[in-house]
Amino acid sequence: MQTFDPHKHFGANSARFFNYINLCLGNKFRTIYTKRMTNPLCRPGNLSLTTHWEEADRDQVGDEFCYAHSSHLRKRCERQEKQREDRHLFGEFVDFVQREDAGVVPVIGAIAATETLAAGAELLGATEADFCRKHTRLRQLATCFADGGRVPRQRKPYRTRHAGWERL
């Protein structure tokens, strides 16, 4: 009612005001109707998916019928199941790495976030040699995780030797 402008409607009388109200309500109901029709569950022409098949209701289709006859749904379900299994396996691997060598866990995130070893080293703020060493250790842990074998001890990083060390 506050948006009614008498100048835009060529004067203010009750007929023009009620016409404006009808236009506003019509627009609102059209918006609601259009929004509901984009939802597939609200369309009146859809078949209902029920699990009961009766002779009187020939327009109804059960979930079993859809899954048995739809290769697209079957492939999508298999893909979703594989993604769930992969996420679970990845979580187990991260837990394994956390138990065996917690210093390598940030490397997993850096590998996922970057494309190259240099970019991963830069992300972690480490030298490229140190990052490659941890990456090699992560691959070693992955092999032990997959095989179920014993995890070898981590070697200490090599020290750089200077010419002055020989005199000591």
* Residue at 53: amino acid letter: W
DSSP reduced 3-state for 149: coil
Which pLDDT belongs to residue 2? 56
pLDDT in tens, 17-43: 777 777 787 888 888 888 877 777 676
Residue 5, number of CB atoms within 10 A of its CB: 9
DSSP 59: T
Secondary-structure breakdown of the chain: helix, strand, coil percentages, each rounded to the nearest 5: 65, 0, 35
The full length of the chain comes to: 168
Structural tokens at position 29: 């109901």
DSSP reduced 3-state for 114: coil
pLDDT in tens, 5-18: 666 666 677 777 77
pLDDT in tens, 50-102: 555 555 555 566 677 676 667 777 788 889 999 999 999 999 999 998 988 88
| More confident of the two residues 164 and 90 | 90
Half-sphere exposure for 16 (CA within 13 Å, toward CB):
10
Residue 1: pLDDT over 60: no
